[in-house]
Amino acid sequence: MKTGKKNLLPIIFLVIFETVAVTLWLTKNNLFYLLNFSYIGISISLGIFLFTRKNKHARRVTQLLVGTYMLIYLGLISGENMQIEGFWYYLFTGVFEAATIHYAVAKIFGPLIFGRGWCGFACWTAMILDFLPYKTPNKPRKKIGWIRYITFAVSLIFVTALFLAKAGNIERIMFWAFIIGNVLYYAFGIVLAFLFKDNRAFCKYICPITVFLKPMSYFSLIRIKCDTKKCVSCGKCSKVCPMDVDVTDNSRKRKNGTECILCMECVKHCPKDAL
């Protein structure tokens, strides 16, 4: 990639995030949005900048910067439930705040543009799971992805029940639900990773957010595509893929296509620059 093009990509992302930051700051008259989206934009642009310089830690840098910010600052310090329960809660109360904006941008409408980039570059659950030893799955995929619909339904029922029961101080309950929910996610995620020898087992079978992410990312503008003229069918790309995507098939219906987290491992390992 030429130097000009290398610099252009992080700049484009920075401009997109700054546009969102300034628009929300001015329309909602709240400085938080300017700082929040500027920070996220800088973190993502830095990751892209490092990636274009072939830095092997590029994705992890962004993932740790954004993931820790959301988990520690927005979740624990600011007391905003950024889990799916928080999304239901703020949606039901009609409050357009951090959790609802976050879901709209990163997990519901954003995936129409950048697919599951959230899962590869920002998620605080995967940020920890990616430290585990099974970066590529050592065992065949299980047919238990239906569990995600149960966890999705449980989160919705839990919040609905709180409203129906007219529970007092739901804000406080949401804060504790965020802490307990995260502890459970990490515990299940780590146990499953070792059980299935796959760091991303939790993402594949349990995570309720994939109920939004998978159908929306099907239409994603940004996708990994294979230049079939350059490809020599060596199979390296599929071998390094953590999500079992049939990388060389360019169709949207390719096997596990909606699992792609844009981690770029396939791109990095392709000997022919075909991806």
Tokens for 261? 């987290």
Q: Is 70 in the site for ligand SF4 (CB under 6 A)?
A: no
Closest C-alpha to 69, from 49, 95, 104, 98: 98
CA gap 100, 158 in Å, rounded: 17
CA gap 90, 126 in Å, rounded: 24
Nearer to ligand SF4, 81 or 248 (CB): 248
CA gap 201, 192 in Å, rounded: 6
Nearer to ligand SF4, 215 or 235 (CB): 235
Q: Is 210 in the site for ligand SF4 (CB under 6 A)?
A: yes
What number of other Cβ atoms are within 10 A of residue 252's Cβ? 12
Nearer to ligand SF4, 149 or 163 (CB): 149
Binding mask 116-155 for ligand SF4 (x = CB under 6 A): ---x---x-xx-----------------------------
Q: Using CB under 6 A, which residues numbered 231 to 270 contact ligand SF4?
A: 231-237, 240-243, 245, 247-248, 260-266, 270
**Amino acid symbol at 56:** K
Q: How far is the CB of 108 from ligand SF4 (least distance, A)?
A: 12
CA gap 120, 7 in Å, rounded: 21
The residues binding ligand SF4 (CB under 6 A) are: 119, 123, 125-126, 202-203, 207, 209-210, 224, 226, 231-237, 240-243, 245, 247-248, 260-266, 270, 272, 274-275
